[in-house]
Structure 1
Amino acid sequence: MTVRGLILSAIRSGEGKTIVTAALIAALRRRGLIVAGAKNGPDYIDPSFHAVASGRASFNLDSWAMPPALLDGLAARAGDGADLLMIEGALGLFDGVGGPAGARGATADLAARFRLPVVIILDVSGQSQTVAAILRGLMLHDADVRVAGVILNRVGSERHRALIAEAVAPLGLPILGSLPRDAAFALPERHLGLVQAGEQGDLARRIGAAADCLARHVDLDALVALARPPQIAALHSAMPALPPPGMRIALASDDAFSFIYPHVLEGWRRQGATIVPFSPLADEAPEPACDACWLPGGYPELHAGRLAGATSFLAGLRHFGATRRVHGECGGHMVLGRALIDASGTRHEMAGLLDHVTSFATRRLHLGYRTATLSADCALGAAGAQIAGHEFHYSTIVEAGQDAPFATIEDARGVALGAAGGQRGSVSGSWFHAIAPL
């Protein structure tokens, strides 16, 4: 491989990783470099910001959910043809789940596996010399993880920066830049994270403004000089992420249905499947010539009225599901049920292909890695197949219905969570987002 890489991490969520990563990609592209992005962990939203900045797909890399061959193959493909690969971390650098080292879902796992240097993006508001103690701890915590530099974020003044720099100097850790508290680095948020890239008509302008500011305050030459070639064992892995549910797949794709991993779509295409997008919000039905339909997660709870009024979509989906496979993940699962209750408590009739009723008015956070064992043959595979994935939603089931279960579920530590989802004929769905087979 000719690409060189860096990992951009932090000590926790909310430090500004995503916008700084996107701004760095944009700023370096202006210098004529081909820059690719990737994201640690199960995140649908952040990679779309990388894609806007880089002009190319950004893959997820997940040491817990992905077998090593798939992880290595995706890392190789993420950087294919690029000069630089910028991998954005999730949560804090060492945050993950329990289990063996290297398979915890932590950003540090990727740093150790691929031998890539880590640049810390650190929000220094409300502290000064203590920054040195935090950085010292990160540098010493794991001998297999090299913290190579830091970008100070939300610096209050020149005096503030100088106090931090004086304290950090004995560590020998380069301060690559000091970003001011600037509105250019603010992005709108909602209940599942940042507002989706596709919903922000001015996102390219926002990223450009952040890149302008970043270029004035970060030593881009020094940052690029830290990058190293990733050490990847399986450069040409042909391992697919998931089997395609059909060879011609109708894919719901709009602001209500956008949570599908690029590596899943790429894997389907590599196995010969054709993807045919359609928009339920535009009252489009799945193409009749398709042999499977996939309803991804997203935000149907924010568009429930429009979806309930999309009569062509609902009728077409019902007709399709009578004879062909339909699968819904999370938000797609909500739409497959009898009804969806929105935040105001209003009930909206949905497709009725499954028997449950969901509510966004009755909210509880469900979050974490999951292992699913399929209860019967379905769009994800044969009965008994095990798949790694995750859940992340606030909506709840308020009427369970009488459908057979889609799968039995365990959490990341192997604790049984019971039967999940529903299956009726060729239609299946659950809160579970599939990442890769086990």
Structure 2
Amino acid sequence: MKIPRLVLAGTHSGVGKTTLTLGILAALRQRGLKIQPFKVGPDYIDPGLHQVAAGEVSHNLDSWMGSPAALRRLFRKHAGTAEFSLVEGVMGLFDGAKGEGEAGSTAQVAKILKAPVVLVFSAGGLARSAAALISGYRNFDPDLQLAGVIANGIGSSRHREFIRDVVEGELGLPWLGALHRDADLTIPGRHLGLLPAAENKDLGQVLERLGQSMEQQLDLDGLLLLARQAPFLEKDPAQTLPPASPVRLAVARDEAFHFYYQDSLDYLEELGADLHYFSPLKDRSLPREADGIYIGGGFPEEFLPLLTSNQPMKSQIQRAWSEGMPIYAECGGLMYLCRQIAAAGQEFPGVGLVPSRVQMGKKLAALGYVRARLRKPSLLGGEGTELKGHEFHWSTMEELPQEDSAYCLKGGRGGDGRLEGYARENLLASYVHLHFRYHPGAAQKFLACCAAYRKARWQKDG
């Protein structure tokens, strides 16, 4: 099956991959093309920006958490009807899981998808040295198809032509354009990355300007031609799903909680979950007849006065837990369920299900892939079950009882064997983010717990 596709990779983080991706998506959408965005690795914010630019939900491709077959299935599922699919890379082209070679890298994903790679590099301060830089990336992995380059941060028209001559004349690589330095064409950020789409009121105007700049400064026709030259992508066997167990799952989703992999939610639905979204910020009650609660990550620290003053919602969650309803929370959700949340010199009362105080810090407390081994039977599996996840947070937990720790972690920041999270009875809350499609057993176990609660409630109610 011919699927026009490209991977947009960078020489390093901060080279402008996301700005270029958003601009290309916006420009091609303005042309009327049906485009499908993807993001390499564990990222929530960039896919949300992609969706606004492309008009299509963006999906995460993670080759550390998921198998090559799972990645190809996911990619084909969403790219099959698109005229052009663009995969934004993560970090530098060859950067992946620490100490595991190419695992989790943009390069690995590109090879799994047999996708041509367009390399973005920072041209600031470079002349002929650009040839040495790009040559190193092209020759590092002979199995990778480096199909073209884009220069970012060009200082002048003369500089642009000099770099172009180097790329085309000395390297023989397709020159796909260059972006001049423009402080107005940037996306504002905060401590976990770029400002989320839901909070960026000027995003539409920025995307319009970005799209216009890409039309003027990039060879978009050349990009499309390279994408259409991508080779045939084999079809993997379909994934077999177990019989569905219909449950009603309450999913927290608002400005404070929106870190979800779309394919995690899709997979839960494929397993039989009926998802009902609610806002811990604004709603006064949980969705009716819910059989379980899923509270993802996000930015609860940005909304603490409003979030923690919503006592009716906190009381509903407390009551649901006391009645045995399964509750699963990640990162920001863990923070919200704690007894206290300390930020900006103030203390805020959380839901209180996790007997701990969480303290917002001024620097990263954890970042990276982790292997999380369950220390006891829980909502996600039996004792000893290993899950692959990702941590990325600035806060730390205090006074958390070690005997109720959910996981024993390996990888990421900190020593191997460290304890993390909280698991007790029908609750599991942790800093670790999971991708449920890449962890079918954990997803099925969680929904089985919800189904068991549903059955018990029916029997009790007669």
Instruction: Report the TM-score, using the length of structure 2 for normalisation.
Output: 0.89
Q: 1:246 to 1:132 in 2, by over 3 A?
A: farther
Residue 164 of structure 1 aligns with which residue?
163
Moved more, 160-169 or 391-400: 160-169
Q: Could you tell me whether the CA contact under 8 Å between 2:97 and 2:368 is conserved in 1?
A: no
Matched, 1:261 2:261: yes
Residue 126 of structure 2 aligns to a residue whose secondary structure is coil
* Gap regions ≥5 residues in structure 2: 442-462
Moved more, 149-158 or 201-210: 201-210
Q: Could you tell me whether the CA contact under 8 Å between 2:245 and 2:272 is conserved in 1?
A: no
Q: Which whole-Å CA distance do the structure 1 matches of 2:172 and 2:6 have between them?
A: 19
Q: Could you tell me whether the CA contact under 8 Å between 1:98 and 1:413 is conserved in 2?
A: no
Supply the AA of the counterpart residue of 2:158.
R
Matched, 1:196 2:227: no
Q: Which whole-Å CA distance do the structure 2 matches of 1:364 and 1:18 have between them?
A: 21
Q: Which whole-Å CA distance do the structure 1 matches of 2:199 and 2:14 have between them?
A: 21
Matched, 1:122 2:124: no
Residue 64 of structure 2 aligns with which residue?
64
Q: Which whole-Å CA distance do the structure 2 matches of 1:120 and 1:48 have between them?
A: 23
Q: Could you tell me whether the CA contact under 8 Å between 2:378 and 2:425 is conserved in 1?
A: no
Structure 1 residues 303-340: Cα deviation after superposition (integer angstroms, max 9, x where no partner): 11211101111111111112201111001001111011
1:363 is displaced (CA, Å) by 4.6
User: Structure 2 matches for 1:24-423, cutoff 5 A?
Assistant: 24-98=24-98, 104-168=103-167, 169-227=169-227, 228-229=229-230, 231-235=232-236, 237-238=238-239, 247-322=247-322, 323-342=324-343, 344-361=344-361, 363-401=363-401, 404-411=404-411, 416-423=416-423
Q: Which whole-Å CA distance do the structure 1 matches of 2:28 and 2:6 have between them?
A: 13
Q: Which whole-Å CA distance do the structure 1 matches of 2:245 and 2:425 have between them?
A: 15
Structure 1 residues 39-72: Cα deviation after superposition (integer angstroms, max 9, x where no partner): 1111111111111111111111111111233212
* Gap regions ≥5 residues in structure 1: none
Q: 1:403 to 1:239 in 2, by over 3 A?
A: farther
Q: Which whole-Å CA distance do the structure 2 matches of 1:414 and 1:116 have between them?
A: 35
Supply the AA of the counterpart residue of 1:24.
I
Q: Could you tell me whether the CA contact under 8 Å between 1:337 and 1:352 is conserved in 2?
A: yes
Q: Which whole-Å CA distance do the structure 2 matches of 1:243 and 1:416 have between them?
A: 37
Aligned length: 435
Q: Could you tell me whether the CA contact under 8 Å between 1:6 and 1:119 is conserved in 2?
A: yes
Q: Could you tell me whether the CA contact under 8 Å between 2:39 and 2:46 is conserved in 1?
A: yes
Q: Could you tell me whether the CA contact under 8 Å between 2:26 and 2:211 is conserved in 1?
A: yes
1:220 is displaced (CA, Å) by 0.9
Q: 1:49 to 1:219 in 2, by over 3 A?
A: same
Q: Which whole-Å CA distance do the structure 1 matches of 2:98 and 2:187 have between them?
A: 32
1:345 is displaced (CA, Å) by 2.0
Q: Could you tell me whether the CA contact under 8 Å between 2:358 and 2:398 is conserved in 1?
A: yes
Between the aligned residues of both structures, percent identity stands at 36
Residue 458 of structure 2 aligns with which residue?
none
Supply the AA of the counterpart residue of 2:29.
R
1:258 is displaced (CA, Å) by 0.7
Supply the AA of the counterpart residue of 1:276.
H
1:192 is displaced (CA, Å) by 0.5
Q: Which whole-Å CA distance do the structure 2 matches of 1:285 and 1:291 have between them?
A: 14
1:32 is displaced (CA, Å) by 2.6
Q: Could you tell me whether the CA contact under 8 Å between 1:38 and 1:78 is conserved in 2?
A: no
Supply the AA of the counterpart residue of 1:82.
A
Supply the AA of the counterpart residue of 1:268.
L
Residue 187 of structure 1 aligns to a residue whose secondary structure is coil
Q: 1:378 to 1:359 in 2, by over 3 A?
A: same
Structure 1 residues 81-105: Cα deviation after superposition (integer angstroms, max 9, x where no partner): 1011100000000111256666x10
Q: Which whole-Å CA distance do the structure 2 matches of 1:224 and 1:133 have between them?
A: 27
Residue 13 of structure 1 aligns with which residue?
13
Q: Which whole-Å CA distance do the structure 1 matches of 2:245 and 2:314 have between them?
A: 20
User: Once superposed, what is the RMSD of the aligned Cα atoms?
Assistant: 2.3
Q: 1:224 to 1:249 in 2, by over 3 A?
A: same
Q: Could you tell me whether the CA contact under 8 Å between 1:96 and 1:106 is conserved in 2?
A: yes
Q: Which whole-Å CA distance do the structure 1 matches of 2:386 and 2:244 have between them?
A: 15
